[in-house]
């Protein structure tokens, strides 16, 4: 990043700062665990609602990832020993939330919202957790599965991840690693995990899952999170303002940095009048870009800082689940951040399904902006007009060190950033971009926004997605023209109010943009049932 831009970023942002039961995938296992441990009995999970369901191998680290010049594939972030494979994996009683037809409720949709009196901290929705019960009086009903989880990686078998392809167009998000295409909404759950595994292996490094213990303590508007894993412990804190109570928790917006409601990542006055809590997360408390930090004291596996930040937010949610006195409705959480924290915001939403609404702002290269298109723009301009892969791959230690090897070889990436965006689907996503910032990539960001919509359309969740791009304002200073979009998404997906969402809006750009779908997409968008 140019010195001037970096200096502005620093000025604008400021420096403010279980159980160990394995995940069941069969009816018999669910019955046995339910009878012996009482997991989620009566619709309420145990205090450690987020059971340890996968084991991170010490060799599963980002430092071993290979670039496009390597002939040997690095180990997948989820090894075969980490994967629970069941012949009944397609059964709705053991899978994650079934992605229903467009007329049904989708996770995070307005129809999924519940009144404040019924919002629970550890509850799964009745439609997602009530299994079919046999009419036989001698039959023991299966114990409902808690579907409010970080991800479903342990339920999915991840195949061999390619380190290099030959594809100048955008890779097909619907094509599985085995070469077949998904054919139903239910298939998206494990395809999403495949995409995540690719990003962990090649770009971000492994996100450690299911630490042995996460504890939360709340006092004076501060939530302290203590994490213990593999014999090591560390802690950090977040500030909470306008919180609810244990009996009447409030939805909340988690924001990067010290200025979510003013400063870097600010949504400005767009949040005025919305009765939500604000949780301020300083990522330096987990993984400062200068190096070191709590995350790397616990896990020193060559990861980039972005995945470390995503890990930190996941642990905040773990702690909130166990600390109802903090007054936060964990079923209605949003995430926001701008610039480098916009990249982090997208990663948070992509890698944790408990985030109901994701709002990355001006995320640029490494966020919601296409690598292939950025490289094409730079080639046409004859200079690095848009931040290139090598620059983004080394700045702020955001990514694993080997990712920079793809610079100039963007067409060999087995993914592009429309697939990271797609990982949020079908949950609510509002992408905010600034058309006036060349370094952030006006064209590659716009094209990413339009290509990403294909996945939401396929899942029947078009109304859950908006891409908005507007120029004529400073970096990380939300213009008035985007206020209504922010309010609409927060009202609809956090507060359960009626609002119109779902569009591609770049009517106030600084230049004419003409996204030719056929130039970048050679796959058909399915209509998944």
Q: Using an 8 Å Cβ cutoff, are 247 and 254 in contact?
A: no
Contacts of 411 (CB under 8 A, 6+ apart): 165, 166, 167, 168, 372
CA-CA-CA-CA dihedral for 289, 161, 168, 380, to nearest 10: 10
- What 3-state DSSP class applies to 332? strand
Residue tagged active-site, from 76, 266, 339, 468: 339
Nearest Cα to Cα of residue 417 among 373, 461, 470: 373
* Cβ(464)–Cβ(428) below 8 Å: yes
Are residues 184 and 95 in contact, defined by beta-carbon separation less than 8 angstroms?
no
Is the CA virtual torsion 252, 255, 257, 258 positive or negative?
negative
Specify the 3-state DSSP secondary structure of 229: strand
Cα-based angle 358, 363, 369 (whole degrees, multiple of 5): 100
Q: Which of 246, 226, 245, 244 is nearest to 236 (CA)?
A: 226
- Calpha distance 261→439 (Å, rounded): 25
Q: In what order do the strands lie in the sheet with 465-470?
A: 213-219, 222-229, 232-241, 277-281, 250-256, 328-338, 357-361, 428-434, 465-470, 503-508
Contact 77, 60 (CB under 8 A): yes
Task: Find all residues with CB under 8 Å of 143, minimum gap 6, and list them.
Answer: 30, 31, 33, 34, 35, 39, 40, 41
- DSSP H helices, 245-366, are 294-298, 305-322, 340-351
Provide the 3-class DSSP secondary structure of residue 344. helix
Is the separation of the CB atoms in 427 and 464 below 8 Å?
Answer: yes
- In the set 123, 152, 332, 475, the catalytic residue is 475
Q: Can you tell me whether residue 362 is helix, strand or coil?
A: coil
Number of DSSP helices (H) and strands (E) in the chain, helices first: 13, 10
- Three-state DSSP class for residue 310: helix
Rounded Cα–Cα distance for residues 367 and 180 (Å): 27
> Is 339 considered catalytic here?
yes
For residue 475, indicate whether it is catalytic. yes
Residue 449, both tokens: 């926004």
Instruction: Give me the active site residues, please.
Output: 339, 475
């Amino acid at each position: 990043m140019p010195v001037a831009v970096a200096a502005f970023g620093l000025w604008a942002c400021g420096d403010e700062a279980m159980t160990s039961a394995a995940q069941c995938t069969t009816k018999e296992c669910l019955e046995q665990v339910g009878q012996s441990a009482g997991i989620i009995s009566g619709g309420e999970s145990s205090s450690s609602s987020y059971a340890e369901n996968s084991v991170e191998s010490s060799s599963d680290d980002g430092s071993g990832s290979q670039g496009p010049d390597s002939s040997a594939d690095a180990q997948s972030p989820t090894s075969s020993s980490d994967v629970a494979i069941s012949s009944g994996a397609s059964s709705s009683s053991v899978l994650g939330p079934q992605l229903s037809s467009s007329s049904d409720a989708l996770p995070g949709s307005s129809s999924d919202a519940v009144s404040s009196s019924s919002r629970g901290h550890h509850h799964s929705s009745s439609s997602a957790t009530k299994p079919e019960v046999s009419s036989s009086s001698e039959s023991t009903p299966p114990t409902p599965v808690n579907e409010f989880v970080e991800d479903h990686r342990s339920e999915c078998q991840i195949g061999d991840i390619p380190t290099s392809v030959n594809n100048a167009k955008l890779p097909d998000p619907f094509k599985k690693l085995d070469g077949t295409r998904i054919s139903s909404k239910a298939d998206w759950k494990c395809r999403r995990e495949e995409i995540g595994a690719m990003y962990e292996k090649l770009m971000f490094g492994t996100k450690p899952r299911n630490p042995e213990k996460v504890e939360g303590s709340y006092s004076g508007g501060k939530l302290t999170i203590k994490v213990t894993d593999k014999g090591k412990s560390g802690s950090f804190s977040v500030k909470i303002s306008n919180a609810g109570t244990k009996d009447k928790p409030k939805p909340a917006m988690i924001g990067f940095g010290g200025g979510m409601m003013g400063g870097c990542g600010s949504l400005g006055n767009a949040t005025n009048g919305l009765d939500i809590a604000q949780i301020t997360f300083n990522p330096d408390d987990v993984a400062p870009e200068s190096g070191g930090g709590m995350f790397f004291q616990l896990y020193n596996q060559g990861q980039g800082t972005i995945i470390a930040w995503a890990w930190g937010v996941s642990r905040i949610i773990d702690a909130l689940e166990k600390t109802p006195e903090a007054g936060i409705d964990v079923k209605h959480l949003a995430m926001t951040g701008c610039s480098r924290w916009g990249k982090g915001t997208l990663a948070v939403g992509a890698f944790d399904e408990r985030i109901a609404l994701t709002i990355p702002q001006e995320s640029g290269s490494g966020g919601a902006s296409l690598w292939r298109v950025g490289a094409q723009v730079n080639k046409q301009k004859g200079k690095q007009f848009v931040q290139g892969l090598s620059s983004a791959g080394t700045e702020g230690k955001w990514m694993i060190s080997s990712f920079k090897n793809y610079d100039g070889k963007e067409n060999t990436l087995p993914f592009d950033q429309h697939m990271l965006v797609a990982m949020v689907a079908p949950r609510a996503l509002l992408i905010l971009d600034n058309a006036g910032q060349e370094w952030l990539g006006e064209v590659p960001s716009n094209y990413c926004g339009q290509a990403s919509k294909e996945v939401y359309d396929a899942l029947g969740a078009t109304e859950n997605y908006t891409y908005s791009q507007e120029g004529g304002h400073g970096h990380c200073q939300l213009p008035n023209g985007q206020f209504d979009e922010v309010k609409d998404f927060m009202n609809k997906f956090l507060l359960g109010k009626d609002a119109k969402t779902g569009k591609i809006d770049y009517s106030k750009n600084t230049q004419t943009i003409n996204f030719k779908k056929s130039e970048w997409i050679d796959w058909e968008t399915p209509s998944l049932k």
